[in-house]
Structure 1
Amino acid sequence: MSRRLLFVVNDAAFFISHRLPIALSAQLNGYEVRIASMPGPAVEEVKKHGFFHYELPLTRSGKNPLSELLVIFSIYRLFRHWRPDLVHLVTIKPVIYGNIAARLAGVHGVVAAVSGLGFIFIAGGLKASLVRTGVKWLYRFAFGKKNLRVIFQNPDDRDVLLNIAMLDPGKVELIRGAGVNLNHYPALPEPDGTPVVSLAARLLVDKGVGEFIEAARLLKQRGVEARFCLIGDTDPGNPATITSKDLDAWREEGIVELLGFRTDVAQLFASSHIVVLPSYREGLPKVLLEAAACGRAVVTTNVPGCRDAIEPGISGLLVPVRDPVALADAIQTLVVDTNLRRTMGRAGRELAEREFAIERIVKAHLDVYKKLEVGI
């Protein structure tokens, strides 16, 4: 009888972009794999890959306590109905709610993937502080399950939750990101012409989009010849989203080219010379792994997750967070110094081959599953 593995994730699109290779490999290794998420367009793609999908009443930013309790109950009911041997919980709400439900439902083994601590651990103010206190207690209860492994993408997030959640160090695994398919992101020579500087991300304040825009303004004022491309779309469900009004103003100003949501990131990076991510905090940003695979030098912030995705001074440059002047200076360095830029790009590809290849990441996850299988 095959072992039953259930992925619980907020958004099916995130599962497709960050966990699909793991699920497919688990299936090939004898697991019966199913997926549970909130409804959305990407659910059809999940089904096209042959996975049974369960719909959950998850929301991105639900604030109604009764609705959130309903989510926990729905996950609990699903666990009792299908009785998975292992559950793999991905993103903050599934990690917390899914662990609570798993403890109540008696699920044998749980993998909790902490892919970042989220907006609430970045935001300031009294309200955010109160919510953080509640989240800490929820993590503490959620991580009380005995047969549990918590996967972190960087050591800073690991150390935070070891402290606030009283997490047993023996339950911790460190796996550097979601990996990248090196065949899909080839390292091609830089194109000729004016250097292209690209930022690809959800358009959120805490991705450093505003700092990128201001850095582009500064470089234009300095007479630096470069094109600036902003790749991605707004995220209305996130309180930190850039607004359509902002986009209209930037479009009219003409400082950056707004490319919107794109699925051809490999081609866009191949057409770029530098990839930038001035984020305030990350788990381990997949876009920087993709940039490294494409052989592109990176400028990113010296914060958890971002600094873990590059080799500072070797495959890219680190700048202070929320500092558009330092960001502009670093971009200018790479725009002007072609040899340094290309050397860093080659080092990035070597880093991706050594640390971020999808085969390596998939194997690490399957090894975690095996640790939890004892007694099934």
Structure 2
Amino acid sequence: MTMKLLFLVTEDWYFCSHRMALAQAAQASGYAVSVLCRVKHHGDVIRDAGFELIDLPMRRGGLNPAREWMTLVRIWQVYRRLKPDLVHQVAVKPVVYGSLAAWFLPTIKQVNLLAGLGTVFSARHWKTSVLKFLLKRLFRWLLRQPHVITVVQNRQDYAVLTEQLGLLPQQVRLIKGSGVDIEQFGYSAMPPPPLRLALVSRLLWDKGIAEFVAAARLLKQKGLQFQALLVGEPDEENIRSIGVEQLKDWQDEGVVDCVGRIDDVAAFWRSVHIAVLPSYREGLPKTLLEAAASGRPIITTDTAGCNEIVEHEVNGLLVPVRSVPPLADALERLVSNPALCAQMGKAGRTKVETEFANALVFAQTLAVYRELFND
């Protein structure tokens, strides 16, 4: 009998970039795969992969009570109609809404992926503090239901669920990251000068972008020669998104080059020397996995998720969160030492091959699926 697997995610682009390969592995293992998400520009890609696609007008940053209620009802309707054997719900809002819908359909087994506890758990605004309070109480109830396993991507988030929210070890699994295609993101030697360092991310303040710009400014004032690239776009549905005017000001100042969105990320990393992400908190950032797989040294913060990828002084450098001088010192050290960059880049490639490759992550995830069916 073919098992029905339904992915609930927020956006079609996110499914394609972070979950498509896993869904294909599940399909190859015999699951009939469906996807429930907001469909904008990548619907044909998902359908062409052989997956049933259902549109869900979910807004990641939406807080309108009427609209959110309709989204929850829509999820419940889809769950009731499709009758999936297993739902794989990804990120905070899909986990909450999907778990509430599945509570009325107790035969559905659930895998909840909290890929980083995100803006709600790292931001300092009073609104996010209230939301954090409510979410903790919801999680204590929803994630402790029968036939539910929650997956996290780093040790700190595992500790939050087990130590703060009281989940039992058998209710939580630590699977490091979404995987990376080590063939697509193959190792390559360092490109010729000029030296280029890049921050690839959604353009949110919590990614440490202001600190990146400030550190680059300090180094350029000291006369160091390099190009600092800011790659990505603002996220209008995130309250911590950086405004277009701010990006224009940085571009006009000449400190960083705001590249925008790029399609061929693998080719981009081959053209860059150093990856930077001074984020405040992550799940396990795929952008750093892709950079490390490509043989690039990493400068990132000693915080949840980021310090799972980087071993300090081995495949990169860890710096404190929200602190510009140590970040500038780390950048200066690698900018001034091409041999160290190459050495760390090779170590990063080895780390990805042995800990984060797609085959490893997918095998662990499919094992969680089997565990639920054998329960």
Once the 2 structures are TM-superposed, how far is the Cα of residue 194 of structure 1 from its aligned partner? 2.2
Percent of pairs identical after alignment?
40
Query: What is the rounded CA distance, in whole Å, between the counterparts of 2:19 and 2:333 in structure 1?
Result: 36
* Residues 1:164 and 1:68: Cα distance change in structure 2 (over 3 Å): farther
Number of aligned residues? 375
Question: In the alignment, which residue of structure 1 is the partner of 2:276?
Answer: 276
Question: In the alignment, which residue of structure 1 is the partner of 2:294?
Answer: 294
* Residues 1:141 and 1:69: Cα distance change in structure 2 (over 3 Å): farther
- Kindly provide the amino acid, as one letter, of the partner of residue 242 in structure 1: I
Conserved in 2, the CA contact under 8 Å of 1:181 and 1:357? yes
Question: In the alignment, which residue of structure 2 is the partner of 1:259?
Answer: 259
Superposition RMSD on alpha carbons, in Å? 1.2
Query: What is the rounded CA distance, in whole Å, between the counterparts of 2:236 and 2:55 in structure 1?
Result: 21
| Deviation string, structure 1 residues 247-292 (Cα, Å, up to 9, x no partner) | 1111211111111101211111111111000101000000111111
Structure 1 residues 285-324: aligned runs within 5 Å: 285-324=285-324
* Residues 1:69 and 1:164: Cα distance change in structure 2 (over 3 Å): farther
Question: In the alignment, which residue of structure 2 is the partner of 1:245?
Answer: 245
Query: What is the rounded CA distance, in whole Å, between the counterparts of 2:349 and 2:273 in structure 1?
Result: 14
- Kindly provide the amino acid, as one letter, of the partner of residue 360 in structure 1: L
Query: What is the rounded CA distance, in whole Å, between the counterparts of 1:349 and 1:272 in structure 2?
Result: 15
- 5+ residue gaps, structure 2, are none
Question: In the alignment, which residue of structure 1 is the partner of 2:36?
Answer: 36
Question: In the alignment, which residue of structure 2 is the partner of 1:230?
Answer: 230
Question: In the alignment, which residue of structure 2 is the partner of 1:106?
Answer: 106
Question: In the alignment, which residue of structure 1 is the partner of 2:175?
Answer: 175
Task: Say yes or no: does 1:162 pair with 2:162.
Answer: yes
Conserved in 1, the CA contact under 8 Å of 2:112 and 2:148? yes
Once the 2 structures are TM-superposed, how far is the Cα of residue 66 of structure 1 from its aligned partner? 2.9
Structure 1 residues 116-195: aligned runs within 5 Å: 116-195=116-195
Conserved in 2, the CA contact under 8 Å of 1:8 and 1:36? yes
Conserved in 2, the CA contact under 8 Å of 1:140 and 1:164? no
Q: Which runs of 4+ in 1 moved over 6 A?
A: none
Conserved in 2, the CA contact under 8 Å of 1:112 and 1:148? yes
TM-score (norm 1): 0.97
Structure 1 residues 70-109: aligned runs within 5 Å: 70-109=70-109
Conserved in 1, the CA contact under 8 Å of 2:62 and 2:237? no
Query: What is the rounded CA distance, in whole Å, between the counterparts of 1:340 and 1:68 in structure 2?
Result: 50
Query: What is the rounded CA distance, in whole Å, between the counterparts of 1:336 and 1:347 in structure 2?
Result: 19
Once the 2 structures are TM-superposed, how far is the Cα of residue 44 of structure 1 from its aligned partner? 2.6
Conserved in 2, the CA contact under 8 Å of 1:79 and 1:107? no
| Deviation string, structure 1 residues 174-213 (Cα, Å, up to 9, x no partner) | 1110111111011111112121111100011001111111
| Deviation string, structure 1 residues 152-185 (Cα, Å, up to 9, x no partner) | 1001011112234322221111111011111101
- 5+ residue gaps, structure 1, are none
Task: Say yes or no: does 1:343 pair with 2:343.
Answer: yes
| Deviation string, structure 1 residues 204-263 (Cα, Å, up to 9, x no partner) | 100111111111110000111111111111111111111110111112111111111012
TM-score (norm 2): 0.97
Question: In the alignment, which residue of structure 2 is the partner of 1:7?
Answer: 7
Task: Say yes or no: does 1:24 pair with 2:21.
Answer: no
* Residues 1:166 and 1:311: Cα distance change in structure 2 (over 3 Å): same
Query: What is the rounded CA distance, in whole Å, between the counterparts of 1:68 and 1:139 in structure 2?
Result: 18
Q: Does the residue aligned with 1:25 lie in a helix, a strand or coil? A: helix
Query: What is the rounded CA distance, in whole Å, between the counterparts of 1:85 and 1:128 in structure 2?
Result: 34
Conserved in 2, the CA contact under 8 Å of 1:283 and 1:304? yes
| Deviation string, structure 1 residues 43-98 (Cα, Å, up to 9, x no partner) | 23211212111112311111122322222222111111110000000111111111
* Residues 1:64 and 1:328: Cα distance change in structure 2 (over 3 Å): same
Question: In the alignment, which residue of structure 2 is the partner of 1:47?
Answer: 47
| Deviation string, structure 1 residues 23-62 (Cα, Å, up to 9, x no partner) | 1111111111000012321223211212111112311111
